[in-house]
Structure 1
Amino acid sequence: MLAAVLGPSGLFLMGTFYLLSGLFTPESVARKGARRFVRDRLVRPGIPFALSALLVWPPALWVAYRAAGHDVTPWWVFTHRDPLLDSGSLWFVEILLLFSVAYALFGRPRATPAVPTGGHLVAVTAGVVASTFVGRLWFPARSGQVGDLHVWWWPKLIAMFGVGIVGARSGLAERVPDRMWRGSRVVAALAVLSVPVVAVALGVSDLAGQAGPSLGGRRWQALLFAVVEAVLVVGGSVWLLGLAQRRLTRDGPPAVALSRGAFTAFFIQGPVLVVLAAAARPLPFPAEVKAFLVAAVAIAGSFGAGRLLTARTRVGRFL
């Protein structure tokens, strides 16, 4: 039930992060120059990723193993995790670092800025479908690569980063055109609604046990999953960007404080969730109740701690 409700958003929210990053990367490179930009990227995304992979996420997993009754050491957890250098939620930062450095070193702005249209988004979606299906012949979804690279997600992440790069030169960061926003909203809503319908039609009742054919290979299920994922990531990301521009514009001290500590909150959310989940295990409530309780406390705790860490400690330089 939770997977049907929350699962579709997980397929496109990471793409939204890359769209946002692409929107602001060209201006940053132009302002700082390629050398300073690369140096800054190595510090701000690079150091948090290294800290998460080496010092933060392995102990958090050790807590999870111990809470589940496994008598293991933190070193065992670090050396036996698949993939090696698993960084928890910070894996996307490592990949974004690679994309950003590649753009700074090899990206060249067009003389005449291109204006993204609905037709361009359809073409991007088709490209994501094809490249995702082909890529997962070698790197199935959920497969692990050394360094936690998530190669099986690269086609859609590259695509959305590229849409952001192109959109940055045509004002997409300020306003998604109304027609494009409405169209993306309809497409994303239909895709989200189609996921449980398709699952029921195919007789899928256990996502963990029956997802295998959809994760990769020369199977129609893998192609169908690539189509749904591509439609969601392109349509959902553009819709969410337009929604934020139209509805999430409230300013003031609370909004500034939350936004300033948002990256720190994302950095610490994994350990916070693991510790809270372990602490909630003895509570005599159903798992669904504990899930929402842990989520609510984790969100408040992560943002609160994120604000304090960025405002009152030196880690604000990196986070």
Structure 2
Amino acid sequence: MEKRLVYLDRLKIFMTVLVVLHHTAITYGGAGSWFYYEHQDNVVVNTLLTMFTAVNQSFFMGLFFFISGFVTPASYDRHGAANFLKGRLVRFGIPLLFYMLVIAPLLQYVSSGHEGSLGQFIQEEIVSNPLRGVMGFEVGPLWYLEALLLFVAGYALVRRLTAGTTRRHRLDLSPRLMAGYVVIVAAANFVVRLAYPVGEEILNLQLAYFPAYIGLFMAGVAAYRGKWLQQLTQGAARKWKWAVLALIVSMAAGMALGGAMEGDISVFMGGVSWQSAFYATLDPLMGLGISYVLLVSFRERCNGTATKSTGWLSTNAFLVYILHALFVTYVAFALRDLEWNPMIKFVLVGCAAVLLSYTAASLIRRIPGVKKVV
């Protein structure tokens, strides 16, 4: 068994916290879909939070898929096809059911604008129809687990079909390979978004972003086999830092020139336009750059001996991801009457949601049997 990479655990902790802050930013003016909004007529705040969510969107879920792909081959090799799939079905399927049956109905109370109390809503909408969450198939942020189930099933199928064949060639990481990834994903983004623009969902999945997600999951698998993480260099990371800064400035300029300052960004989300091609290309390029920088930075600076706090944060991160929507939404909803600057509320609610999610996750994992799943 290979040594556990501590820096990947710490990177996942960082990105889990970023997910919580990302959804909090949408609540207070950032572009995106969420259960509760407090958007105000504040161009500066809305622009800053939209840039924050746009930059996050370019890399953080893709990097989650990359890491998931990276750990998949070892798990498959260790457990075998049947046990591997069974384990993933339990680990991903049970949280999905829990979300649909418990968390989704509670979020519907806020998003539906129900005028009665939470108790009345539970009695009228949940107790009277306990299967509503399942029938509605609402998985919110847990679309990620839904997608992972599809990806690992595909991986297992490929492994079974290629079993007994000659050893597969290990793909080497190279600038040409990374350039090819960007070109292919950018073209696929543009084509897919002609039919399914950003924001449109099929079974809770935004297909507009899936060319990158599929590519990065496959890249994670190749990275494990080809030992790519050891090949990432600090020199290249320094170049990517400058490139990312230039790309962020380019994004802001492109959005402004494309009419985003007027409040309508739909032309960037899909269709035959230079704005759609611009975003379809910039998104995977920026995501690749930020991911490269983060992987190198965490490898070089955060790869020491695992501490007790790292272990606790890492162990609870998965459940935090599952629970965080509830805390982001309800903390924001509880503070809705405060006439504060939205940036202050963003920071306050984001920090509170992180702390509450981790506290709840730690307590829930003490329930017998829960640790076997999450």
Q: In the alignment, does 2:300 pair up with 1:253?
A: no
8 Å Cα contact 1:188/1:232 also seen in 2: yes
Q: In the alignment, does 2:58 pair up with 1:26?
A: no
Q: Distance in 2 between matches of 1:275 and 1:103?
A: 38
Q: Distance in 2 between matches of 1:272 and 1:110?
A: 48
8 Å Cα contact 2:172/2:226 also seen in 1: yes
Q: Please state whether the residue corresponding to 1:169 is helix, strand or coil.
A: helix
Partner of 1:240: 294
Deviation digits for residues 1-58 of structure 1 (CA, Å, limit 9, x no counterpart)? 2112342112211000001011111111111111111111111012112221333123
Partner of 1:92: 144
Partner of 1:115: 172
Q: Distance in 2 between matches of 1:24 and 1:117?
A: 21
CA-CA distance at 1:311 after TM superposition: 4.3
1:294 and 1:313, CA in 2 relative to 1: closer, same or farther beyond 3 A?
farther
CA-CA distance at 1:173 after TM superposition: 4.1
1:150 and 1:123, CA in 2 relative to 1: closer, same or farther beyond 3 A?
same
Select which of 25, 50, 61 maps to 1:3: 50
Alignment-mate amino acid for residue 291 of structure 1: F
Q: Distance in 1 between matches of 2:208 and 2:131?
A: 23
Select which of 162, 171, 178 maps to 2:227: 171
1:123 and 1:154, CA in 2 relative to 1: closer, same or farther beyond 3 A?
same
8 Å Cα contact 2:258/2:275 also seen in 1: no
Partner of 2:326: 271
Partner of 2:13: none
The 5 A counterparts of 1:197-212 are 197-206=253-262, 209-212=263-266
Structure 2 spans left out of the alignment, 5+ residues: 1-47
Q: Distance in 2 between matches of 1:69 and 1:295?
A: 27
Alignment-mate amino acid for residue 220 of structure 1: W
* 165-174 vs 96-105, which moves further: 165-174
CA-CA distance at 1:240 after TM superposition: 1.7
Q: Distance in 2 between matches of 1:39 and 1:317?
A: 13
8 Å Cα contact 1:23/1:173 also seen in 2: no
Deviation digits for residues 54-104 of structure 1 (CA, Å, limit 9, x no counterpart)? 3312322313434789997646999999x9523111111100110011101
CA-CA distance at 1:151 after TM superposition: 1.7
Partner of 1:287: 342
The 5 A counterparts of 1:137-176 are 137-145=194-202, 147-174=203-230, 176=232
Alignment-mate amino acid for residue 279 of structure 2: F
Q: Distance in 2 between matches of 1:78 and 1:294?
A: 30
Name the % identity.
25
TM-score, with structure 1 as normaliser: 0.89
Alignment-mate amino acid for residue 188 of structure 1: V
Q: Distance in 1 between matches of 2:73 and 2:270?
A: 34
Q: Distance in 1 between matches of 2:363 and 2:223?
A: 34
Q: Please state whether the residue corresponding to 2:50 is helix, strand or coil.
A: helix
Partner of 2:275: 221
